[in-house]
Amino acid sequence: MDTEQVDKVIKKAGCAFCAGNCGVLVEVKDGKVSRITGNKEHALTLGNVCERVGYGSKWLYHPDQLMRPLKRAGGRGEGKWEEVDWDQALDEIAGKLGDIREKYGPESLVVTEGTYRSGMFWMRSRFLNLFGNPQNVAHAGVICFLNCYAINMAMLGGCCSLAANIGRSNCTVVWGQNPYSSFPRTMASIKRRKEDENYKIIVIDPRQTETTDIADIWLQPRPGTDTALAMGWLNVIINEELYDKEFVEKWTFGFEQLKERVQEYTPAKVAGICRVDQDKIIAAARMYATSKPACIVRGVAVDQIGRNAARVEQSRVILRAITGNLDVRGGDLIPDVGPEVDGNLFRREVVLELDDKLPAEKKPKQIGADVFKVMGWQAYGLTSEPYEKLTGQPEPVGHRLAASPPLTWRAILTEKPYPVKAMITWGSNPLMWAANTKLVYEAMKSKNLELHVVMDFWKTPTAELADFILPVSSWMERPLCSTFEDLTDVVFGGERAVQPLGERKDDYAIWRELGVRLGQEEYWPWEKIEDAIQYQLEPLGMTYEEFTDDGYIRGGREYKKYEKNGFPTATGKVELYSTVFEKLGYDPLSYYEEPPESPVSTPEVAKDYPLILNTGGRFMPMFHSEHRQLGIGMRERHPDPLTDIHPETAKSLGISEGDWVYIETRRGRIKQKARLNPGILLDVVNVEASWWFPEMDGAEPSLHGLWESNANVLTLDDPESCDPLTGGWCNRALLCRVYKV
Ligand code: SF4
């Protein structure tokens, strides 16, 4: 037996290069990750992985990965840092947080977060609750599913927007997503199902993609008009009586009001709004309603259209409900309250968050809760009461609440409604994901912000403006235990493949050590994250080792759970007419509203900015603002930021393939490379998001090329342009012009 074989071990980990948590096998040779492949024995993810895992080893051992805590040694953005030890960093941070809490109140701290990944968000909530903070988490999720989750909870007391049962459906609608790039596992399911010639796919996307290429019907609406399209489908389905009469009768509330409302959305009118052929709209609606069971896969695209975003999801929930596709085999499943084994329930994140420790008078202080009410504690109160009554369990909190990011930046700058003095940026890069980069930058540079701590792997543009950067361990260096913050009734697990590199610490260790320094010691009994996971597993009688070896826990699948006790809403039914929205002062029924900046709503702007700007879409092998470092292979595969433009439009502007072009809105200008795409609408351009350049100077004015190609220099976050229910801002359906550099 050779030594190489002796030193090689295979670890079963959970990938977190995106939110998928695919089960992977990490080969560790001589203590170092050497190769990562899909774990075919993982019963939930079946060995499906995307190309990102192939870069894992080079990513982990890249020389720019941070290994020690850094403290700012010059002005913010001067690029001067000193290495400090953990005790010094955590003592100073905790000391400052304590002073700020004393002087300005616990609400003066904000946590910012990016895409859901780490799997263990309860530790952040636990820290904040014990700190007395009203969950001021300024979350990118406001335009990436958290909004949908809140809408679902309001309408049916569960979430039907996450688990489309593609493998057993006869028709799948893919709405505003290209799973090839954003969720490869979904694409794999669609392709497997596609082998059956009776299976139908409908795709709604203004841009031709790998998914539109396999569609039976591809609808290409004008960006931002999705609610009109959905209401048009409802018009057809209701007026042609294609809905499930028994389900509607027994299990929905407000059908007559809905029926009246959808009369405003005739196929002819909708065709005009969306610029889609009327017959195609009717054909798609009929196909969806009659190919039972059917499911709808949602992407984040329409979460990002501003004022009308929540109404798209409201309309989609109505479509699923009235066609009888809710919680049926092959339809849109509603996860149970958590995995249960032999009647014992896994301890979910909500159990660990300690929401009961947050004083009630603090809750209304959550930033934006009085404006974007569906994401706040008041709405949570309305949904959690029937939820708890029916299920006997607390309603998960994590995905229900978010502070408004646009209002957070403004609060830092204006000290209104109260001073925000400290920010912890946790695995996040708001200078890339948040709209209106200039404002975010001003907030981060503001003297009003007395403490900014970034937890990350790299010196990102956001980290360059911090006071401390704390190096965190990646998914290969820590275990995984994820219920997606209680979104699902399965738990994804994985073991540590290698010990943290350098002096990196895992997220749990950092939150705990900060908490202990702030007087929370009695509430952090588990010394390490493995012990906390063991506590979650305890009711199931399962060990940590058994859990990570399986890689998942899944309870039994039950369909049509509502038939037992109804839906956990105030009416016990799916609320097509939402009593929650009504109580919060919103229109209880869905309706269409033009995007805040469009050829129709702002024709005077369109004269100077004639093209429709879309941004925020994902592309391989990047994930949001990650993977731009040279030397890993991902950047080499996709070296430059690309803007898709129709060849005819490009020709009229004197632009050729590969030309650098400026993209300009009323808010700013960036440059990217033109990619001619005959599959995009003539007046639409698609601009890649989140571009920064780690190889460029990290100090100001460059900040790793922050202002060069970053699409959020162009986007809009005025509060009045945001979705009034959830606060989602505009990455899409804006107006721009494009010209050659
Ligand atoms: S889709 Fe790719 S990046 Fe995402 S979890 Fe799976 S393997 Fe990792």
- Select from 37, 49, 117 the residue to mutate for testing ligand 1; criterion: most ligand atoms less than 8 Å from CB: 49
Give per-residue pLDDT as tens, 696-724: 999 999 999 999 999 999 999 999 999 99
Residue 4 pLDDT: 47
Under the banding of pLDDT at 50, 70 and 90, the label for residue 147 is very high
Residues 6 or more apart from 403 whose CB is under 8 A from it? 110, 135, 136, 137, 138, 139, 366, 367, 368, 369
* Helix ranges restricted to H, 446-576: 461-464, 507-517, 529-537, 544-550, 562-565
Tell me the residue type at 606: A
Tell me the residue type at 315: S
Residue 119 pLDDT: 66
- Using left for φ > 0, alpha for ψ between -120 and 50, and beta otherwise, residue 658 falls in left
What CATH number labels 603-740?
A: 2.40.40.20
Give per-residue pLDDT as tens, 628-637: 999 999 999 9
Q: Which neighbouring-strand residues pair with 668?
A: 665
Question: Is the beta carbon of 21 within 6 A of some atom in ligand 1?
Answer: yes
Outline which parts of the chain fall under CATH 2.40.40.20.
Answer: 603-740
Q: Average pLDDT in the 538-554 region? A: 93
Q: What φ, ψ does residue 290 adopt, rounded to 5°?
A: -105, -10
Question: Going by CATH, does the domain composed of 160-333 fall within 3.30.2010.10?
Answer: no
- In the reported structure, the alpha carbon of residue 337 is separated from the centroid of ligand 1 by a whole-number distance in angstroms of 25
- In the reported structure, the alpha carbon of residue 571 is separated from the centroid of ligand 1 by a whole-number distance in angstroms of 40
Residue 338 pLDDT exceeds 80: no
Under the banding of pLDDT at 50, 70 and 90, the label for residue 182 is confident
- In the reported structure, the alpha carbon of residue 211 is separated from the centroid of ligand 1 by a whole-number distance in angstroms of 18
Residue 5 pLDDT: 53
Question: Is the beta carbon of 56 within 6 A of some atom in ligand 1?
Answer: no
- In the reported structure, the alpha carbon of residue 716 is separated from the centroid of ligand 1 by a whole-number distance in angstroms of 30
Question: Is the beta carbon of 119 within 6 A of some atom in ligand 1?
Answer: no
Residue 2 pLDDT: 42
Q: How many residues does this entry show for the chain?
A: 741
Question: Which comes out higher in pLDDT, residue 300 or 331?
Answer: 331
CB 593 within 8 A of CB 643: no
CATH architecture, domain 70-139+350-475+500-528: 3-Layer(aba) Sandwich (3.40)
**DSSP E strands, 360-519:** 422-426, 451-456, 468-471, 480-482, 490-494
Outline which parts of the chain fall under CATH 3.40.228.10.
Answer: 160-333
Residue 727 pLDDT exceeds 60: yes
User: What percentage of the chain has pLDDT greater than the value 90?
Assistant: 90
Residues 6 or more apart from 385 whose CB is under 8 A from it? none
Question: Is the beta carbon of 611 within 6 A of some atom in ligand 1?
Answer: no
| CA proximity to 432, closest of 470, 469, 400, 458 | 458
Q: What φ, ψ does residue 433 adopt, rounded to 5°?
A: -90, -25
Q: How far is the C-alpha of 511 from the C-alpha of 492, rounded, in Å?
A: 22
Q: Average pLDDT in the 301-323 region? A: 97
Sequential DSSP letters for 99-147: HHHHHH-GGGEEEEE-SS-SS-THHHHHHHHHHT----EEEGGGGTTHH
Residue 1 pLDDT exceeds 60: no
Q: How far is the C-alpha of 396 from the C-alpha of 402, rounded, in Å?
A: 13
Question: Is the beta carbon of 50 within 6 A of some atom in ligand 1?
Answer: yes
Outline which parts of the chain fall under CATH 3.40.50.740.
Answer: 70-139+350-475+500-528
Question: Which comes out higher in pLDDT, residue 508 or 343?
Answer: 508
Given the structure tokens 């295979």, which residue do they identify? 10
Q: What pTM was computed for the model?
A: 0.96
Question: Is the beta carbon of 621 within 6 A of some atom in ligand 1?
Answer: no
Question: Is the beta carbon of 22 within 6 A of some atom in ligand 1?
Answer: yes
Under the banding of pLDDT at 50, 70 and 90, the label for residue 330 is very high
Q: How far is the C-alpha of 113 from the C-alpha of 145, rounded, in Å?
A: 14
- Select from 40, 51, 53 the residue to mutate for testing ligand 1; criterion: most ligand atoms less than 8 Å from CB: 53
Give per-residue pLDDT as tens, 575-616: 999 999 999 999 999 999 999 999 999 999 999 999 999 998
Ligand 1, atom nearest to 21 Cα: 5
Mean pLDDT of all residues belonging to the chain: 95
Q: Which residues of 322-350 are buried (b: 16+ CB within 10 A; e: fewer)?
A: bbbbbbbebbbbbbbbbbbbeeebbbbbb
Q: Which neighbouring-strand residues pair with 297?
A: 174
Residue 130 pLDDT exceeds 90: yes
Outline which parts of the chain fall under CATH 3.30.200.210.
Answer: 3-60
- In the reported structure, the alpha carbon of residue 16 is separated from the centroid of ligand 1 by a whole-number distance in angstroms of 6
Question: Which comes out higher in pLDDT, residue 5 or 318?
Answer: 318
Residue nearest to atom 4 of ligand 1 (CA): 18
- In the reported structure, the alpha carbon of residue 382 is separated from the centroid of ligand 1 by a whole-number distance in angstroms of 36
Q: Which residues of 203-232 are buried (b: 16+ CB within 10 A; e: fewer)?
A: bbbbbbbebbebbebbbbbbbbbbbbbbbb
- In the reported structure, the alpha carbon of residue 304 is separated from the centroid of ligand 1 by a whole-number distance in angstroms of 23
Question: Going by CATH, does the domain composed of 3-60 fall within 3.90.1150.10?
Answer: no
Question: Is the beta carbon of 42 within 6 A of some atom in ligand 1?
Answer: no
Residue 556 pLDDT exceeds 80: no
Give per-residue pLDDT as tens, 40-99: 999 888 998 999 999 999 999 999 999 999 999 999 999 999 999 999 999 999 999 999
Q: Is beta strand 23-29 parallel, antiparallel or unpaired with respect to 8-14?
A: antiparallel
295 to 211, 316, 493, 671: CA distances (angstroms): 16, 10, 27, 39
- In the reported structure, the alpha carbon of residue 649 is separated from the centroid of ligand 1 by a whole-number distance in angstroms of 35
Distance of alpha carbon 63 from its chain centroid, rounded? 29
State in Å, rounded, how far the first CA of the chain is from the last one.
61
Question: Is the beta carbon of 13 within 6 A of some atom in ligand 1?
Answer: no
Question: Is the beta carbon of 49 within 6 A of some atom in ligand 1?
Answer: yes
Q: How far is the C-alpha of 411 from the C-alpha of 107, rounded, in Å?
A: 12
- In the reported structure, the alpha carbon of residue 25 is separated from the centroid of ligand 1 by a whole-number distance in angstroms of 13
Residue nearest to atom 5 of ligand 1 (CA): 20
- Select from 36, 50, 117, 627 the residue to mutate for testing ligand 1; criterion: most ligand atoms less than 8 Å from CB: 50
Ligand 1, atom nearest to 20 Cα: 5
- In the reported structure, the alpha carbon of residue 183 is separated from the centroid of ligand 1 by a whole-number distance in angstroms of 8
Under the banding of pLDDT at 50, 70 and 90, the label for residue 7 is confident
Please state, as a whole number, how many other Cβ atoms lie within 10 Å of the Cβ of residue 14.
Answer: 27
Residue 6 pLDDT: 55
Ligand 1, atom nearest to 17 Cα: 3
Question: Is the beta carbon of 146 within 6 A of some atom in ligand 1?
Answer: no
Question: Is the beta carbon of 17 within 6 A of some atom in ligand 1?
Answer: yes
* Helix ranges restricted to H, 586-670: 603-608, 634-637, 647-652
Give per-residue pLDDT as tens, 557-573: 789 999 999 999 999 99
Q: How far is the C-alpha of 715 from the C-alpha of 711, rounded, in Å?
A: 7
Query: Residue 193, CB half-sphere, CA atoms under 13 Å: how many?
Result: 24
Residue 114 pLDDT: 80
Q: Is beta strand 642-645 parallel, antiparallel or unpaired with respect to 668-676?
A: parallel
